[in-house]
Structure 1
């Protein structure tokens, strides 16, 4: 798979920020400070409201609105995918971004989370549109504060290192910071995607009019003990860095099918 032109000169880069927690979320404000340490040309195009769990969805059945909040900062009444598509093809059409950064998400995006995550989806859309993209997420203890300072301290150097090394055009980078203060981080690990399932818990009830409702909960089934996974890395207080290939073809099965249907 061909690559972009590496390394990227971030000092001259145009950086696009987006997320799925919404334009006013604390994580994207942290990300804006991180990006400002890398480049003077930073743009933010993010959802008007929270879009967690939106996945790589695109709005097709209604028009979208772009609202300019201030110079280089815009809100879109759509999904994270909508935001990146409009940013690259409309707002920044005269000069597209050099790098897309998505996040920092409130909560990890590990294992199968990547298929649901709007944060990862924004990075997917950047990749599809030909821009190197990184998704960043911050784990936090259940019921506890989010240690935003961990990502804010560690992300600038990590992004620089990733943009020196480079990755293929068909891949994005998924970064997860552990739920600890910076001085408790045990290192950075290259990790594969683990396995965990969200939504195993369904809460039922009735609304004030007596109609039944079903609320998908956040209970997860996961095994953080499997070595080499993103779950294991974050569980061990390390930063997990996972390359995600946009080509989801199961090649061994494809070979078997090709032999069967020859």
Structure 2
């Protein structure tokens, strides 16, 4: 059997993580190391200032006390895959999208980044939601898509090169209404300041950061539609992400600039 290491940033109890486990456990040996609590928007952070405790939930399923998704993959590889790497690292299913520049904040994408650093084919998968207040979300399309993609990887090869990961976003549709798959580029996310300022019962001020409205625009001279546009049109978005953040097109202009100083 192939092996898959799972994590997420919504916590070990997340409906999305449990749906991902359910979808994949019949086609692979699944190991889970997930944060003990929600770590949304924690980015690609490792915990260096305190010890981390791994707590067993059930066989091959652990929560990492106060750990980030990156910690989970880092320690999961160290603890359970000392002699042979897993065939895949998958992070998700995230509650909410991870598109455009949101991937730089995302703990979900960071979990896949950690896998890619160690040369393991890695995937981040996120579910677009229309109603955050629901106690139950429908992951049927996400489960169907990730199963299809994983089976294709296992029967052939991972489509990306070293230190690259696949970022998948699932529209809020059913398997009968979504239009298929689109290969996309990360969109241009438009942000607004949504910090709320208030006072606690002792009169002390505090801030609470809210969710930004999902606004975007297409990039100038884009060669592909964006992940945002694909989702809005009813497609599953597949975006290849590279860990090399170098802006290659700016290397020569920067060299010219410093030489003219």
Compute the TM-score of the two structures, normalised by the length of structure 2.
Answer: 0.90
Residue of structure 1 equivalent to 2:195 = 202
State the distance in 2 between where 1:198 and 1:146 align. Answer: 26
Per-residue CA shift, 1:210-241, capped at 9, x if unaligned?
A: 11111111123623667600000111111000
Match of 1:244 in 2: 241
Separation (CA, whole Å) in 2 of partners of 1:199 and 1:105: 22
Tell me which residue corresponds to 2:141. 150
CA distance 1:52–1:63, change in 2 (3 Å) = same
Asked whether 1:214 is paired with 2:211, we answer no
- Assess, with a 3 A threshold, how the Cα gap between structure 1 residues 68 and 246 changes in structure 2: closer, same or farther: same
Q: Deviations over 1:10-43 (max 9, x none)?
A: xx3211011001111110111111221321x210
**1:55 has 2:43 as partner:** yes
1:114 lines up with 2:103 in the alignment: yes
SS of residue matched to 2:75? helix
Q: Name the SS for the 1:183 alignment partner.
A: coil
User: Equivalences for 1:35-184 in 2 at 5 Å?
Assistant: 35-39=24-28, 41-77=29-65, 78-143=67-132, 146-162=137-153, 164=156, 166-184=159-177
Equivalent residue number for residue 254 of structure 2: 257
Check conservation: 2:218, 2:225, Cα contact below 8 A.
Answer: no
Question: What does residue 2 of structure 2 align with?
Answer: 13
**What are the superposed Cα offsets for residues 142-183 of structure 1, whole Å, 9 maximum, x if unpaired?**
356632111112221123335535211121000000011221
Once residues 37 and 193 of structure 1 are traced to their aligned partners in structure 2, the CA distance between those partners, rounded to angstroms, is: 32
Say whether the 8 Å CA contact 2:24–2:147 is kept in structure 1.
yes
Task: Let me know the Cα RMSD of the aligned residues.
Answer: 1.8
**How many residue pairs end up in the alignment?**
250
The alpha-carbon distance between structure 1 residues 94 and 71, as it changes in their structure 2 partners (threshold 3 A), is: farther
Q: Hey, what's the Cα distance between the residues in 2 that align with 1:217 and 1:91?
A: 37
Q: Tell me, in whole angstroms, the C-alpha distance in 1 between the residues paired with 2:131 and 2:44.
A: 26
Question: Which moves more between the two structures, 99-108 or 134-143?
Answer: 134-143
Alpha-carbon distance between aligned partners in 2 of 1:258 and 1:223, rounded to the nearest angstrom? 32
Gaps of 5+ in 1: 1-11
Structure 2 gaps of 5+ residues are none
1:3 is aligned to none
**Superposition deviation, residue 197 in structure 1:** 4.2
Q: Is the 8 A contact 1:204 1:213 kept in 2?
A: yes
